[in-house]
Chains A and B, each alone.
Chain A
Amino acid sequence: MKTKIGTAITMCAMATSLFIASCSNSSNKTESTSETHEHQHGEGDHHEHIFACPMHPEVTGKEGDKCPKCGMALEHIDEVPATGNFQMQFTSSPQIIEADNPVTLAFTPKNKDNPNAVVPLDMEHEKKLHLILVSEDLSWFNHIHPDYQTDGTYSVAETFPNGGNYILYADYKPSGSTHQLEKINVEVKGKTIPAKTFTKTINTAVSDAYSITLKPDDGIFIANKAIHFDGVFTNEGKPFDVNQLQNHLGAKGHMVAINIETKEYVHLHPEVEGTVLHFHTTFENAGIYRAWLQFMADGKLHTVDFVINVEKGQVKTTETQHDHNNHSDHKH
């Protein structure tokens, strides 16, 4: 009897000791984990976390914020990228571009501070260089992607439909630097067609069975204000869930809007909320904008176009001293 109780005492003692040891052990482990973490943190970046818009690096904020210009979620960046002094060198072959004849457009990004160095580009929306081509009257639009060649240029073949002036917007981001937008004017020889004028608002566009209507809050687009508008899809007249759309270049849709007068360029990527596309942007100028929306449905790329009438909003003081070319270079 005595020995049995003795055994019980020893068992009790051992069990308790084990129990407490396991307790202290686990707390120790937690300690060491957090230590390692701090250590790692130390060897990593020494900066505070910065969140910036991937397309508009001048827009910074907190985690979870959205860019007022394009509505994209701000992303964490480790360091403020250097604003380099970049320029896109443009050549075409043949040098004189003629309507209806294929031409190779070649682009070479250069760093003006270091003209001999090569300038690698980062991937943005699955491509390194986005090229938006429009005719001067904004009646013709194309969105293409020059590809890197062994000679160090980004080239693509294109055929312009008519003679006249065209504007190329080159949208790229040199590695380790900020986003760049460059406007290149091109003259195309050949038969010209009369310039189209756009005055009437067109908020609904149709491609195949799809119909898309842009619905701004309060029914109007206002300049100089962060605004929001919906892109409502229907398919054969029935409401269509945009989640069914395939991704095109990493997004459900891409919208380019260009001001008819100032040629100000806005590139938007909508968010999917519920069954409609949500666009967030700020139009800097009042006036008529041409807008093109590209989306992928049923394995086919659809491009639809709109005419947006942006009403004057709050008074803008700098409007009179606006240098349009510089402005659009800077923005975006």
Chain B
Amino acid sequence: MKTNKSYKIILLFLLLIANSQLLFASGGDDHSHGDEKPTTTEQQQKFFSSEAVSDKYELLIRYEPIRIGEPAHLTLFISEYATNKPIDNAEIKITAQEDGKLVFNVKQSGEGTYTVETSFPEKKNYSLAISINGSLGADLILLTNIEAGKELPHTEETNGKSHFSNWKNWLMIVLALFFGLVLGILIQKRNTVKGKTAIAVILLIVNCFLPIQNSIAHGDDDHGAKKSGVNFSNSFNVPKETQFLFDVLTEKVQKGSFTESTKLFGTIIPSSNGQALITTPQNGRVISLNVNVGEQVKAGQQLAVIEQNIDAGTQVNLLAEKNNLTAEYDAAKKEYDRLTSIQDIAAKKDVDEAKSRLQKAETNLKLFTGNSGKTIALNAPISGIVANFNLSIGATVNTGQSLFTITNLSEVYAEAQVFDRDAGKVKQGAKFTIECVNDNHKTSAVNLLSLAQEINATNQSQRVLFKLNNPDSDFKIGEFVNIRVFASENSQQIALPNSAITEINGKPVVFIKDAAENYTVSYVQLGENNGTHTSILKGVEEGERVVINASYQLKMIYLNQ
């Protein structure tokens, strides 16, 4: 019992420590974001850069430290300001504001990338006036702060510090081990009154200190973020080359007319004359098969021929029946011939009777010979495509067996469940579109065919039918579709293409371009989605540049930073 209790105490203590460890670990995580900065400075240590924008173009020049009087190679990136598309084959002239005689050689070296060769004679800050004649027209932009002769900053100092702190770390660990040892001994002596009080006091002290220490750590956190001036967790760098490679495109946010829409769920069903099932009228044997699976057939085209199947008994009966009929016919004919030859003396009534008897016998015989052992041709009732069938020549088929299905997908129906809330919006004259749930195909050639006549008793939904043209057979029977009903009124809202919106930690975000190589994650509040665009209620301002292409790649870069 006693040992049990002691273990409980130890366990409790360990749990407390583990708890605090977790908290500190998360604190450490945040700090590691702070650590990002040195790596970015390391990146910056390789290059200097300067950027400028106009209403047409965005320029970024990147250069390694420039040695005075020696050939310098600078890389100039040109893209469209609003869309971030690289500008190729632009005519570029560069003049230095400080020195009109400087010569610059500009050559395109890649997508939107140009190399600039020159030699700076003095150690100072140059401003370059870049004259561009590209796909968006002419422009003149000044790139300032080209620091010729400037060396990269050193980082040895911080390294020395970290060595020192490492040494300090070790000291702390040794001290802590010692402290732990003392604690362990105390626990061992838990039986004595002194030991008990000592443990209680230590536990109490540790408990009291934990929250305070936590709050101190968090205070430091905030301080760090504020000091650096940038919110590390939301902004990140993407080099221009990467942007061009991934085709990162942006769009300037503008308020525009946005049509709200309502989504209905539906299923594609064949139109009233869009599907035909061909069954056999009689038992028989397939003697001719004129179509293949997947073949396009016209209405009236012969699909197969079936020969009636007769067993031996029936055959005998039939033969006997045929003989009877033939005999009857012969007898009737003889009788009729005899009576006509003695027409003058024979009673008119007898002649008429014989005639009608002969006619009856003739019809019966004709009927029998026409129908017995006959072949039946199966024709296509509608135009369409022959679905998969399992049939071969010689196969026996039974009455009522379905042989072929012909489907015509050029016009199909969509059946939607409409609930009371949306029922008012679904009316003749409204604009509808249909899109597939799984695939991307969609159509706007949709008409409301029939409004509900009755309401489903189980879920109180109404069954509404839409007719849609489906010339490319994109929609298949049984496919799940979303039907959008557009409101007739537009409203002025910020709307972004759906490709701009992605999710981080389950929350919708967009990426906003702040500078040539700098992007920010912005959490947004989404409004209506009308299939192509989603209105943004909060999180994006007019005039901002939002990434509309390759937002997934940016998300990966952001998450991996």
Identify A24's interface contact among B14, B127, B172, B227, CB under 8 A: B172
With A4-B3, A5-B188, A8-B10 known, 5 other A-B pairs at CB within 8 A are A12-B10, A13-B181, A25-B28, A246-B255, A246-B256
Is A14 within 8 A of B31, CB to CB?
no
Q: Choose among B20, B21, B34, B492 the residue that contacts A30 (Cβ–Cβ < 8 A).
A: B34
Interface residues of B in 3-33 (CB under 8 A from A): 3, 6-7, 10, 13-14, 17-18, 20-21, 24-25, 27-28, 31-32
Given A19-B20, A37-B227, CB of A247 within 8 Å of CB of B255: yes
Check if A117 sits within 8 Å of B492, measured CB to CB.
no
Which of these, A36, A123, A152, A250, contacts B54 with CB under 8 Å?
A123
Q: Please tell me if the beta carbons of A15 and B129 are within 8 angstroms of each other in the complex.
A: no
The residues of A that contact B294 with a CB separation of less than 8 Å are: none
A220 interface hit (Cβ, 8 Å): no
Asked if B34 and A33 make an inter-chain contact with CB atoms under 8 angstroms apart, the answer reads: yes
Question: How far is it, in angstroms, between the C-alpha of A15 and the C-alpha of B54 when the chains are bound?
Answer: 59
Q: Which A residues are CB-close (under 8 A) to B181?
A: 9, 13
One of B34, B133, B140 near A120 (C-beta < 8 A): B140
A271 within 8 A of B: no
A residues near B (Cβ < 8 Å) are 1, 4-5, 8-37, 39-40, 43, 114, 116-118, 120-123, 126-128, 147-150, 152, 175-176, 244, 246-247, 250, 297-299
B556 at the interface (CB under 8 A from A): no
* A150 near B142: Cβ-Cβ < 8 Å: no
**Residue from A12, A30, A118 within 8 A of B187 (CB atoms):** A12
Q: A121 contacts which of B10, B35, B140, B543 (Cβ < 8 Å)?
A: B140
Q: Known: A12-B183, A17-B180, A26-B28. Contact between A176 and B169, CB under 8 A?
A: no
Q: A247 near B543 (CB under 8 angstroms)? A: yes
Which 5 pairs show the lowest CB-CB distances between chains A and B? Answer: A9-B184, A13-B180, A17-B176, A175-B142, A120-B142
Task: Give the residues in chain B near A14, CB-CB below 8 Å.
Answer: 177, 180
> Which residues on A sit within 8 Å (CB–CB) of B41?
36, 39-40
User: Quick check: B153 and A39 within 8 Å, CB to CB?
Assistant: yes
In the complex, what residue of chain A is closest to B138 when comparing beta carbons? A150
* B131 and A13 within 8 A (CB): no
Contact B95 A118 (CB under 8 A): yes
A-B contact pairs, 26 of them (CB 8 A): A4-B3, A8-B187, A11-B10, A12-B13, A15-B21, A17-B180, A19-B21, A21-B176, A25-B169, A29-B28, A29-B32, A29-B35, A34-B223, A35-B158, A36-B38, A37-B228, A39-B153, A117-B95, A121-B140, A123-B55, A147-B137, A148-B139, A176-B144, A247-B543, A298-B492, A299-B256
Which residues of chain B are near A32, meaning CB under 8 Å?
A: 34-35, 38, 158, 161-162, 165
**Is A118 touching B131 in the complex (CB atoms < 8 A)?**
yes
The size of the chain B interface, using a CB distance under 8 A, is 74
Counting chain B CB atoms within 10 Å of each CB, the highest count among A10, A33, A114, A118 belongs to A33
- Give the shortest distance, in Å, between A146 (CB) and chain B (any CB): 12
Distance in angstroms between the alpha carbons of A306 and B53 in the assembled complex: 35
**Max chain B Cβ within 10 angstroms of own Cβ: one of A40, A126, A250:** A40
Closest A residue to B141 by beta carbon equals A120
A244 to B490, CA, bound (A): 13
Instruction: Say if the beta carbon of B168 comes within 8 Å of chain A.
Output: yes
Contact B172–A20 (Cβ < 8 Å): yes
Complexed CA–CA distance, A175 and B168 (Å):
51
Picked from A23, A26, A149, the residue with its CB within 8 Å of the CB of B31 is A26
What are the interface flags for B159-182 relative to A under an 8 Å C-beta threshold, 1 for contact and 0 otherwise?
Answer: 001100100110011011101110
Does B295 lie at the interface of the complex (its beta carbon under 8 Å from any beta carbon of A)? no
The answer for the CA separation of A21 and B185 in the assembled complex, in Å, is 21
Task: Report which of A37, A244, A250 forms a contact with B37, defined as CB distance below 8 A.
Answer: A37
Please tell me if the beta carbons of A34 and B492 are within 8 angstroms of each other in the complex.
no
* Contact between A117 and B14, CB atoms less than 8 A apart: no
Residues on B with beta carbons closer than 8 Å to the beta carbon of A21: 169, 172-173, 176
A13 adjacent to B138 (CB under 8 Å): no
Cβ-based interface call for B321 (8 A): no
- Contact partner of A16 (CB less than 8 A), chosen from B28, B169, B176, B543, is B176
- Judging by beta carbons under 8 Å apart, are B257 and A26 in contact? no
Q: Which of B10, B144, B492 contacts A175 (CB 8 A)?
A: B144
Q: Which of A9, A13, A36 contacts B158 (CB 8 A)?
A: A36
The answer to whether B323 has its CB under 8 Å from any CB of chain A is: no
Instruction: Chain B residues near A246: list those with CB within 8 A.
Output: 254-256, 492, 542
Q: Which B residues, 381 to 413, have Cβ-Cβ distances below 8 Å to chain A?
A: none
B262 to chain A, nearest CB (A): 23
A296 to chain B, nearest CB (A): 8
Please indicate the chain B residues that have their CB under 8 angstroms from the CB of A175 in the complex: 52, 127, 141-142, 144
Measured between beta carbons, the chain B residues less than 8 angstroms from A27 are 217, 220
Q: Kindly provide the distance from the CB of A132 to the nearest chain B CB, expressed in whole angstroms.
A: 18
**Set of chain A residues within 8 Å of B27, measured between Cβ atoms:** 26
B97 at the interface (CB under 8 A from A): yes
Which single residue of chain A is at the shortest CB-CB distance from B20?
A19
Contact status B21-A22, CB under 8 Å: yes
B133 touches A150 (CB 8 A): yes
CB-CB < 8 A to B35: which residues of A?
Answer: 29, 32-33
CB pair B133 A18 closer than 8 Å = no
